[in-house]
Amino acid sequence: MVENHAKFGIQKLDDYLGGGLNRHSENLIIGRSGIGKTILAAHWAAEGARNGETVVYLSTTMNKNVAKNYLKRFPFMEDVYEKIHWRFIRVDPKFLLPLTREKIVEGLKFTFGMDGEDIDRVVFDSCTDLEKTLADPVLYRRAITYMADLSYEYGITSLWVEEAPMKGEWSDTKNITESVIFLDLLRVSEGYTRALRILKKYGSKIPLEWIPYDITENGIEIKDGFLVRREYEYEFKCD
Protein backbone atom coordinates (compact mmCIF):
# COMPACT_ATOMS: atom_id res chain seq x y z
CA MET A 1 0.00 0.00 0.00
CA VAL A 2 1.39 3.38 -1.06
CA GLU A 3 1.70 5.86 1.82
CA ASN A 4 0.43 9.43 1.69
CA HIS A 5 3.98 10.79 1.40
CA ALA A 6 7.02 9.57 -0.51
CA LYS A 7 9.49 9.23 2.35
CA PHE A 8 13.28 9.26 2.32
CA GLY A 9 13.45 6.74 5.14
CA ILE A 10 15.53 9.25 7.13
CA GLN A 11 13.27 9.96 10.08
CA LYS A 12 14.36 13.49 10.97
CA LEU A 13 14.36 14.66 7.35
CA ASP A 14 10.92 13.16 6.71
CA ASP A 15 9.64 14.89 9.84
CA TYR A 16 11.04 18.24 8.71
CA LEU A 17 9.32 17.72 5.34
CA GLY A 18 5.96 17.13 6.98
CA GLY A 19 6.03 13.38 6.40
CA GLY A 20 8.09 13.24 3.21
CA LEU A 21 7.67 14.51 -0.34
CA ASN A 22 4.14 15.09 -1.61
CA ARG A 23 2.82 12.37 -3.85
CA HIS A 24 2.52 13.11 -7.59
CA SER A 25 4.86 16.09 -7.32
CA GLU A 26 8.15 17.35 -8.78
CA ASN A 27 11.02 17.81 -6.32
CA LEU A 28 14.64 18.94 -6.45
CA ILE A 29 17.89 18.17 -4.66
CA ILE A 30 20.60 20.69 -5.55
CA GLY A 31 24.17 21.15 -4.38
CA ARG A 32 27.78 21.20 -5.47
CA SER A 33 29.83 18.16 -6.42
CA GLY A 34 30.63 15.69 -3.63
CA ILE A 35 28.06 17.05 -1.19
CA GLY A 36 25.88 13.89 -1.06
CA LYS A 37 23.12 14.55 -3.60
CA THR A 38 23.21 11.10 -5.18
CA ILE A 39 23.34 9.35 -1.80
CA LEU A 40 20.29 11.30 -0.62
CA ALA A 41 18.42 10.51 -3.85
CA ALA A 42 19.40 6.84 -3.43
CA HIS A 43 17.91 6.85 0.08
CA TRP A 44 14.63 8.03 -1.42
CA ALA A 45 14.70 5.43 -4.21
CA ALA A 46 15.53 2.63 -1.77
CA GLU A 47 12.71 3.60 0.59
CA GLY A 48 10.22 3.43 -2.25
CA ALA A 49 11.44 0.00 -3.35
CA ARG A 50 11.37 -1.20 0.27
CA ASN A 51 7.69 -0.23 0.46
CA GLY A 52 6.85 -2.23 -2.66
CA GLU A 53 6.72 0.75 -5.04
CA THR A 54 7.97 0.69 -8.61
CA VAL A 55 11.05 2.93 -8.72
CA VAL A 56 13.01 4.02 -11.81
CA TYR A 57 16.42 5.64 -11.33
CA LEU A 58 17.74 7.51 -14.39
CA SER A 59 21.47 8.20 -14.08
CA THR A 60 23.53 10.24 -16.51
CA THR A 61 26.57 10.38 -14.22
CA MET A 62 27.17 6.70 -13.36
CA ASN A 63 27.41 3.43 -15.24
CA LYS A 64 26.21 0.05 -14.01
CA ASN A 65 29.48 -0.92 -12.33
CA VAL A 66 29.96 2.42 -10.59
CA ALA A 67 26.42 2.36 -9.21
CA LYS A 68 26.86 -1.15 -7.82
CA ASN A 69 30.26 -0.45 -6.29
CA TYR A 70 29.21 2.93 -4.90
CA LEU A 71 25.56 2.70 -3.89
CA LYS A 72 24.93 -0.97 -3.24
CA ARG A 73 27.47 -0.99 -0.40
CA PHE A 74 25.25 1.19 1.80
CA PRO A 75 23.14 -0.82 4.28
CA PHE A 76 19.94 1.01 3.27
CA MET A 77 20.42 -0.20 -0.32
CA GLU A 78 21.65 -3.78 0.10
CA ASP A 79 18.27 -5.54 0.24
CA VAL A 80 16.51 -3.43 -2.39
CA TYR A 81 19.17 -2.55 -4.97
CA GLU A 82 17.99 -5.18 -7.44
CA LYS A 83 14.36 -4.09 -7.01
CA ILE A 84 15.09 -0.62 -8.43
CA HIS A 85 14.86 -0.22 -12.21
CA TRP A 86 18.24 1.34 -13.01
CA ARG A 87 18.58 3.19 -16.32
CA PHE A 88 22.09 4.40 -17.22
CA ILE A 89 21.77 6.88 -20.04
CA ARG A 90 23.68 9.51 -21.98
CA VAL A 91 21.84 12.63 -23.10
CA ASP A 92 22.46 13.04 -26.83
CA PRO A 93 21.26 16.20 -28.62
CA LYS A 94 20.57 14.34 -31.86
CA PHE A 95 17.67 12.56 -30.15
CA LEU A 96 16.26 15.80 -28.70
CA LEU A 97 16.58 18.45 -31.40
CA PRO A 98 14.52 19.99 -32.77
CA LEU A 99 12.87 19.85 -29.37
CA THR A 100 9.21 18.83 -29.29
CA ARG A 101 6.90 17.44 -26.65
CA GLU A 102 6.49 14.29 -28.73
CA LYS A 103 10.25 13.65 -28.72
CA ILE A 104 10.50 14.11 -24.97
CA VAL A 105 7.53 11.83 -24.29
CA GLU A 106 8.74 9.18 -26.73
CA GLY A 107 12.28 9.30 -25.31
CA LEU A 108 11.12 8.96 -21.70
CA LYS A 109 8.76 6.09 -22.43
CA PHE A 110 11.57 4.26 -24.25
CA THR A 111 13.98 4.93 -21.37
CA PHE A 112 11.49 3.84 -18.69
CA GLY A 113 10.91 0.57 -20.49
CA MET A 114 7.46 0.26 -18.95
CA ASP A 115 4.13 2.03 -18.86
CA GLY A 116 4.10 5.30 -16.94
CA GLU A 117 0.97 4.26 -15.07
CA ASP A 118 2.98 1.47 -13.41
CA ILE A 119 5.69 3.77 -12.02
CA ASP A 120 5.51 5.29 -8.53
CA ARG A 121 8.86 7.11 -8.19
CA VAL A 122 11.45 8.43 -10.65
CA VAL A 123 14.87 9.88 -9.89
CA PHE A 124 16.58 11.94 -12.62
CA ASP A 125 20.26 12.21 -11.69
CA SER A 126 21.22 14.58 -13.07
CA CYS A 127 19.20 17.12 -14.97
CA THR A 128 22.35 19.25 -15.27
CA ASP A 129 23.46 17.02 -18.16
CA LEU A 130 20.22 17.82 -19.98
CA GLU A 131 20.72 21.53 -19.36
CA LYS A 132 24.28 21.46 -20.70
CA THR A 133 23.31 19.36 -23.71
CA LEU A 134 20.58 21.76 -24.77
CA ALA A 135 22.81 24.76 -23.96
CA ASP A 136 19.85 27.11 -24.08
CA PRO A 137 17.74 28.15 -21.06
CA VAL A 138 14.58 28.46 -23.13
CA LEU A 139 14.93 24.96 -24.58
CA TYR A 140 15.81 23.54 -21.17
CA ARG A 141 12.77 25.14 -19.54
CA ARG A 142 10.58 23.71 -22.28
CA ALA A 143 12.10 20.24 -21.92
CA ILE A 144 11.68 20.02 -18.15
CA THR A 145 8.14 21.35 -18.42
CA TYR A 146 7.30 18.54 -20.86
CA MET A 147 8.87 16.02 -18.50
CA ALA A 148 6.97 17.38 -15.51
CA ASP A 149 3.71 17.28 -17.46
CA LEU A 150 4.31 13.60 -18.21
CA SER A 151 4.93 12.87 -14.52
CA TYR A 152 1.70 14.59 -13.53
CA GLU A 153 -0.20 12.76 -16.24
CA TYR A 154 0.91 9.37 -14.92
CA GLY A 155 0.80 10.28 -11.23
CA ILE A 156 4.55 9.80 -10.75
CA THR A 157 6.47 11.37 -7.87
CA SER A 158 9.73 12.71 -9.29
CA LEU A 159 13.01 13.71 -7.68
CA TRP A 160 15.43 15.77 -9.77
CA VAL A 161 19.13 16.06 -8.90
CA GLU A 162 21.01 19.16 -10.04
CA GLU A 163 24.60 20.35 -9.81
CA ALA A 164 24.76 23.86 -8.33
CA PRO A 165 27.20 26.14 -10.17
CA MET A 166 30.13 27.58 -8.25
CA LYS A 167 29.08 30.99 -9.54
CA GLY A 168 25.97 32.31 -11.21
CA GLU A 169 22.27 31.47 -11.14
CA TRP A 170 20.72 28.06 -10.80
CA SER A 171 18.73 26.66 -13.68
CA ASP A 172 14.94 26.91 -13.95
CA THR A 173 14.39 23.45 -12.45
CA LYS A 174 13.58 25.03 -9.09
CA ASN A 175 10.64 26.87 -10.66
CA ILE A 176 8.75 23.71 -11.68
CA THR A 177 9.24 21.82 -8.43
CA GLU A 178 7.12 21.78 -5.29
CA SER A 179 10.06 21.27 -2.97
CA VAL A 180 13.75 22.20 -3.05
CA ILE A 181 16.43 20.74 -0.78
CA PHE A 182 19.75 22.60 -0.96
CA LEU A 183 22.95 20.86 0.21
CA ASP A 184 26.05 22.91 0.97
CA LEU A 185 29.20 23.32 3.06
CA LEU A 186 28.95 25.92 5.82
CA ARG A 187 31.86 27.50 7.63
CA VAL A 188 31.65 27.06 11.41
CA SER A 189 34.04 27.74 14.27
CA GLU A 190 35.59 24.25 13.95
CA GLY A 191 36.05 24.56 10.17
CA TYR A 192 33.34 23.36 7.78
CA THR A 193 30.28 21.18 8.08
CA ARG A 194 27.75 19.76 5.65
CA ALA A 195 24.25 21.17 6.03
CA LEU A 196 21.01 21.16 4.09
CA ARG A 197 18.19 23.64 3.91
CA ILE A 198 14.63 23.02 2.77
CA LEU A 199 14.08 26.10 0.63
CA LYS A 200 10.46 25.30 -0.11
CA LYS A 201 7.91 22.55 0.38
CA TYR A 202 4.33 23.14 -0.67
CA GLY A 203 1.73 22.51 2.01
CA SER A 204 4.14 22.08 4.91
CA LYS A 205 5.60 24.20 7.67
CA ILE A 206 9.34 23.74 7.23
CA PRO A 207 12.29 24.83 9.38
CA LEU A 208 14.04 27.98 8.18
CA GLU A 209 17.39 27.02 9.66
CA TRP A 210 20.21 24.97 8.20
CA ILE A 211 20.11 21.29 9.18
CA PRO A 212 23.54 19.67 9.76
CA TYR A 213 24.22 16.19 8.40
CA ASP A 214 27.05 13.72 7.89
CA ILE A 215 27.86 11.25 5.13
CA THR A 216 28.65 7.99 6.93
CA GLU A 217 29.02 4.32 6.06
CA ASN A 218 25.26 4.12 6.62
CA GLY A 219 24.50 6.95 4.20
CA ILE A 220 23.10 10.36 5.11
CA GLU A 221 22.64 10.90 8.84
CA ILE A 222 20.85 14.04 10.07
CA LYS A 223 22.48 15.52 13.15
CA ASP A 224 20.69 17.10 16.10
CA GLY A 225 20.02 20.82 16.21
CA PHE A 226 20.23 23.59 13.64
CA LEU A 227 22.85 26.02 12.36
CA VAL A 228 22.07 29.74 12.54
CA ARG A 229 24.03 32.90 11.75
CA ARG A 230 25.56 34.71 14.71
CA GLU A 231 25.15 38.14 13.10
CA TYR A 232 21.99 39.72 11.79
CA GLU A 233 21.03 42.95 10.06
CA TYR A 234 17.41 43.34 11.14
CA GLU A 235 15.60 43.37 14.41
CA PHE A 236 11.92 43.38 15.25
CA LYS A 237 10.43 46.58 16.62
CA CYS A 238 6.86 46.98 17.81
CA ASP A 239 4.67 49.73 16.35
A 10 A CB-CB count for 230 gives 5
pLDDT score, position 167: 85
Indicate the pLDDT class of residue 229, thresholds 50, 70 and 90: confident
Angstrom distance (rounded) from CA 11 to CA 17: 10
pLDDT score, position 172: 94
Indicate the pLDDT class of residue 230, thresholds 50, 70 and 90: confident
Indicate the pLDDT class of residue 1, thresholds 50, 70 and 90: low
pLDDT score, position 231: 78
Q: Dump pLDDT digits (tens) for 55-85.
A: 999 999 999 999 999 999 999 999 999 999 9
Q: Reduced to 3 DSSP states, what percent helix, strand and coil does the chain have, rounded to the nearest 5?
A: 35, 25, 40
Q: Dump pLDDT digits (tens) for 145-203.
A: 999 999 999 999 999 999 999 888 899 999 999 999 999 999 998 899 999 999 999 99
Indicate the pLDDT class of residue 17, thresholds 50, 70 and 90: very high
pTM: 0.95
CATH number among 2.60.370.10, 3.30.1180.20, 3.40.120.10, 3.40.50.300, domain 5-222: 3.40.50.300
Angstrom distance (rounded) from CA 187 to CA 24: 36
> What is the average pLDDT value for the chain, to the nearest integer?
94
Percent of the chain scored above 70 by pLDDT?
98
Strand duo 85-88 + 55-59: pairing: parallel
pLDDT score, position 237: 74
Please give the single-letter amino acid code of residue 11: Q
Angstrom distance (rounded) from CA 174 to CA 166: 17
What sign results for the dihedral spanned by CA atoms 131, 36, 25, 152? positive
What residues form DSSP beta bridges with 197?
Answer: 182
- For the chain, the farthest-separated pair of C-alpha atoms sits apart, in whole angstroms, at 63
Which of 128, 126, 107 lies closest to 116, judged by CA?
Answer: 107
Domain extents in the chain: 5-222
Instruction: Indicate whether 16 pLDDT > 60.
Output: yes
CB 61 within 8 A of CB 132: no
Percent of the chain scored above 90 by pLDDT?
89
Q: What integer is the mean pLDDT of 113-133?
A: 96
